[in-house]
Amino acid sequence: MRIHCLRLRVFCVGLLLAAALLACSQSQRLTEQQRAEVFQFVWEEVRRSHYDPKLGGVDWDAMRAKYEPQARAAADDNAFYAVLNAMLGELKQSHFGVIPPGAFVAQEEARTRIGDGELGLTVQLVEGAPLIVRVRDGSPAARAGVPPGAELLAIDDLPAARILERIRARKLPEVEERFEVYLAFRAYLSGRVGSEVALRYRDLDGMERTATLTRAAASGERVQFGLLPELRVRIESRILPGNIGYLAFNAFMPPVMRELPARLRELKDTRGLIIDLRENIGGIGLMAGGVAGYLLPRETPLGIMRLRDGTFGIVAYPQQPQYRQPVVVLVDEFSVSTAEILAAGLQETRRAVIIGRPTPGKALPSKIVALPHGGYLQCVLADYETARKRRIEGAGVQPDLPIDLTREAFRNTRDPVLQQAAAYLLKQLSAR
């Protein structure tokens, strides 16, 4: 089957809208006729584009009958777009969503108003509490002495417990709840460069502390891809104690493929390699095969994308320089889309051991189209299964070595997952 290259670039986009939704919607008033046009467009586009003509058994005509009156009666435009997302939610699949007008703002406005500002810390759910699990070196959080392992209590005047209450009221499965907690705190912590935010947290000794931080410009190379908002792509590599290589990147975008050969040449003499896909938001699906090509010496299928009118394979073709030593891949609840495809492929081929926390199972290829009268629709148009015919949508990638984080684990190390991964590699190497 031959598919036009431009089409490939569209449907291989992964779960990048999560980053876009950190932006604030601008106000807009749709007329009754305009609402009808937007509703009709969304309903028709899903029916036309979805890889399954039967939509997984969902009666799409019945969904229209259920939600169209709600859309007409919505009190305002925010409520109207919420109705559209509720209708899409009936499909119970990732990569579906309506983004209201204003969520993708002009690039200059995005840089100055919304949020190219960050604190350099990551909050995830650990033992039922929002824990600061990573603090990036040189970031505002690091300079303020905010320690990994601290429990976040409040962001300015907003208690962290209130954020958790809103998420827990939805009764989500555990992995999905962790995913939503990560997204929510990431949104509240981001903001305009130069703006201040007060964090209240409880350190590992039980002492409550407050730190006022100034958001700094996000690091990484700016990348614009299709209709998506500008994204900062970061790639990091270094050598850990014991001569273990470390490679991390936050998205599957062209700068990674451009830099990857040089990074791997720098790590060629290491005894083993850790590829960190934690907090990797996905990206171009075919890059899963591109990255895997540096680790697999033979042409290797990683999976199949199934469209309504055919199939398309993701294949790893051998690339130079080849890295031949043992490999570990780190994942968590925000390793999504293309990150899940790569992790699953390397796991099935036994080229890598997967360590960390289960991924959320948000792996469906999608496209992004403009809506009438503003806004965008992210819409699934392909299914994905691994080379061994395993679907990871909704199931995620289960680590070979799961790590159940605890607060206590941070007493001895800033990154317990990375520490355990390095220890695992060194143990395997000593046994060879």
Helix (H) or strand (E) holding 10: helix 5-11
CA distance 288 to 344: 10
Q: How many CA atoms lie within 13 A of 40 on its CB side?
A: 8
Strands (E), 277-429: 300-307, 310-316, 327-331, 352-356, 366-370, 376-380, 383-386, 401-402
Tell which CATH classification among 3.30.750, 3.40.190, 3.40.50, 3.30.980 matches the domain 5-109. Answer: 3.30.750
Task: List strands edge to edge, sheet with 401-402.
Answer: 235-240, 244-249, 272-276, 327-331, 352-356, 401-402
- Domain spans of the chain, in order of start: 5-109, 117-217, 221-363+388-425
CA distance 152 to 208: 10
5-109 and 117-217 have identical folds: no
Residue-by-residue pLDDT tens, the chain, 432 positions = 333 333 333 344 444 444 444 444 444 588 999 999 999 999 999 999 898 999 989 999 999 999 999 999 999 888 898 899 999 999 988 778 887 775 443 333 333 334 578 999 999 999 999 999 999 999 999 999 999 999 999 999 999 999 999 888 877 778 878 888 888 898 889 888 999 999 999 999 999 999 999 999 888 888 866 656 677 899 999 999 999 999 999 999 999 999 999 999 999 999 999 999 999 988 888 899 999 999 999 999 999 988 888 888 899 999 999 999 999 999 998 899 899 999 999 999 999 999 999 998 888 877 788 889 888 888 888 888 999 999 988 889 999 999 989 999 999 999 999 999 999 999 998 887
- pTM beyond 0.95: the answer is no
Please check whether residue 383 is in contact with residue 49, taking contact to mean a CB–CB distance below 8 angstroms. no
CATH topology of domain 221-363+388-425: 2-enoyl-CoA Hydratase; Chain A, domain 1 (3.90.226)
Residue 423: which of 94, 409, 228, 98 has the closest Cα?
Answer: 409
Residues facing residue 284 across a β-bridge = 13
Q: Please give the class, per CATH, of domain 117-217.
A: mainly beta
Strands 327-331 vs 272-276: parallel, antiparallel or unpaired: parallel
Q: How far is CA 134 from the centre of its chain?
A: 16
Please check whether residue 402 is in contact with residue 130, taking contact to mean a CB–CB distance below 8 angstroms. no
CA distance between the termini of the chain: 44
CA distance 312 to 290: 15
